[in-house]
Structure 1
């Protein structure tokens, strides 16, 4: 039985909702996507293993493997990896049904069209086109869960005791430009606990908003310190960034605010560890906590994601540059690469579609990019796994 054509695969992947969200009312299982991919992989002769995540029940990983006779299927070869979940969407800002593949103005619209369900259609099409050739190295297809919030799927795969690919391509949308390194990601909540009371007598309470003002002053100083002390020229934004993203506190104008919470985003460079950055954050709020004992708490909103530290001169980067005609770059966003790299494989991030479309209303794949992206990916797989 042959696979569906490329657009049909795209359509069927997008038609299966698989949203990951911290809000439980929006959060969904990705099981339907995983089972569909497993079915297609099996049609291409892959053995498949579907695993429910320990850290996120109801979410699933798929590991599909195909190996030439006489070779160990768990080691060597190439892993093609991507996540099957998407971000939530704002229905009022979409001009199309997010779960229906819509073709207009030479674009394919749909939630996950480039971030990143669509990558699997490219992979499966490439493998179908190469079926007449002799496979000379193991091929693995990894489809993970929960990348958009916890990266739990990739973290569980990283602890797999029997998986040692030689190389890994993560198909996040890079317009087929190879990415060899990227920043990490921390999201933290800073919570101020004060004492509420009547606004007519300020000294009887402790205003959490006023304390937060002092915290913000120190955080802005930390922001400048990070900018001045750490730098890598590989990145377009060469320093670690700190963003004050969300704040809420208080309930009425005539009450002393008893609680205020600020959510911040930090992006560490390779070489700046999560532990070091967490220590700098605690150091920034320590004087305020000393003055107002136990008033300031710092909490992780999710497990921090370390930076991905690859090198430009590894064989996989060199091959990807040669085939794509593009020089490898460093990027400011983060992916599952630092976890999959723990398997001991050379790793790059490289896939169809533009990162500018990720997490946007009316997410789309430009159709003029389909053929050249397919050619590059097919050639990458061919040169590593076929004779």
Structure 2
């Protein structure tokens, strides 16, 4: 049984990654090719010519169509043959390549790998901070050589920040604050409230003032493989609570882990924020800083994947700090089983 849920929307790319030239990307074990048509909408199809299986991402764009660079078979954006390799040969419209449903929303290109008839756009997660007025959103992409679930474990256990991200967002108080974990339907919530602490370097700079703060971290896992983390700080005494906290500076870290193979995935990361929203320079600098923070996670997780493969006789253990990731894995496993039974 696969380790990922097939009937689901997965992020295949950022909006800026897909243009007129074909983009090759493997999603859930399926080699895909994506490109923008003349009307700027996105086409997604299997990255294999139905003739001799050369990747179509190596092909030539002709209007909204793609011509295989090997023998010249021409396919429309609907995946159906428009010209055969021999111009004198009648077009056989039974020659086609599989296409996939696509939705562009919240700066992401979403692809449905499973059963086409179940691809409901309403099932795309509501990333409200990424599109809401008064917020700004940007981010990037990493190809990560580890099981996508290891990244979910990482994001649902922020105690690692103290050691992996010391000097930016980590601090000892993270280890001391109690954890609250709750499962609601197909979502897992892990909350941490840190009242009256010193703000770490990034947050003190964002708040633009010194002194004690109330800090919060609320991790939310959403099927099939997303983690959104509500983070921020507010000046001590401003009235912020774990339930309501718009008094200071607030961000929503957006993380999508799209499986590529059993041991690799695409990590789409970013952050929507409600402070300094008109400062494009800060947005660019912050994106670079955030990229560096997440690169530290990538280094750790790829090493962990290598260790897992080198120690097949050992298994991962779960402690109290792992409850969020454990609950998320349970939801994934139940969804995969239910999909297989259906």
Q: Which structure has the higher relative contact order (CA within 8 Å, separation 6+)?
A: 1
Computing the radius of gyration from Cα coordinates, the structure with the larger value is 1
Which structure has more helix as a fraction of its residues?
Answer: 1
TM-score after normalising by structure 2: 0.26
Which structure has more strand as a fraction of its residues?
Answer: 2
